[in-house]
Amino acid sequence: MKLLAVAFAVCVGVSVGVTDGAVPVRFPEGAVHGFLVLRTESGKLLAHGDLLQIPKGDEIESRMVFRFPDGSLYDERVTFTQDRVFSMRRYHLTLRGPAFPEDQEARLDRGTRKYRVVTTAHRGGKEEVLQGDIDFPADVYNGMVITIAKNLSAGAGLNAHFIAFTPKPRLIGLELALAEDAHVSLGAPKTLAHYVIKPKLGPIVGLIARLAGKLPPDNHAWILTEDVPAFVRFEGPLYMGGPTWRIELATPQWPDQPQATPVGDETQQRQR
């Protein structure tokens, strides 16, 4: 039943067109070091993180890592190629610490068609190891959903695949469709493409999920598409059955920068 908690969710909205299969490269990826924050739905800060991308030959190594104050670690790594179309080659996910229900390390390798998943219980330390072969369609995009969203044609949706760890890996159909645009201010008004993501669970598993009241929560990604596409925000679970968390870009805090006064407190001070 852990399959029902797969971290991609119900899709709303309608796209003008739908891409099937491997996604063409419109904006090649390169060297990147971005700064991220992880928050709850209500905005509470959970962890600081980094997005690191390094070109190595004809491959790109991408890593998104969050370090929590309690020592917990979320570390997602994906290696992919971008020769005309995007292709995931290797994937490595590490969850460790009390922020997660159990420790987990999962690996996928397209070249060998192998997987290995190790889960370790926090209480008692019982370890479970799963390994074997798995099918890799051309459009498996673990760890690459934001990259793929940035490369979709204007107004297009996506039908692809994702390997979910339940903890046994399962190949899941993946849908990504446009919802209503979002509007923000970045010194000037900006319009963001809002994508909603869902798993295609299949008729039997989908029916069981609905009857059990365990349909996965919605996942959302917001992309600035003006000129050069850029990631702005993601909302959704980062692990099986997890809460909805929010990934955003971080703003550096300089040591000599005064702390901002909440609007309500500032108003009260002026009234005094």
Q: What string of DSSP letters covers 75-96?
A: EEEEEEEEESEEEEEEEEEEEE
Check residue 166 and give its pLDDT: 84
The answer to whether residue 93 sits within a structural domain is yes
> Quick check: 130 and 167 in contact, CB under 8 A?
yes
The answer to whether residue 267 sits within a structural domain is no
Check residue 216 and give its pLDDT: 60
Give the HSE-up count for residue 122: Cα atoms under 13 Å, Cβ half-sphere.
10
The answer to whether residue 257 sits within a structural domain is no
Cβ partners under 8 Å of residue 258, min gap 6: none
The answer to whether residue 33 sits within a structural domain is yes
Burial class for 193, CB neighbours closer than 10 Å (0-12, 13-18, 19+):
buried
Check residue 218 and give its pLDDT: 74
The answer to whether residue 262 sits within a structural domain is no
The answer to whether residue 209 sits within a structural domain is yes
Check residue 1 and give its pLDDT: 34
Check residue 270 and give its pLDDT: 41
59 token code pair = 């491959």
Domain of 216, in residue numbers: 2-252
Tell me which DSSP letter residue 29 carries. -
Low-confidence residues of the chain: pLDDT under 70: 1-20, 201-216, 258-272
Which amino acid, 96?
Answer: R
Domain count, the chain: 1
Check residue 35 and give its pLDDT: 96
pTM equals 0.82
The answer to whether residue 270 sits within a structural domain is no
Beta bridge mates, 184? 190
Cβ partners under 8 Å of residue 43, min gap 6: 246
Check residue 79 and give its pLDDT: 98
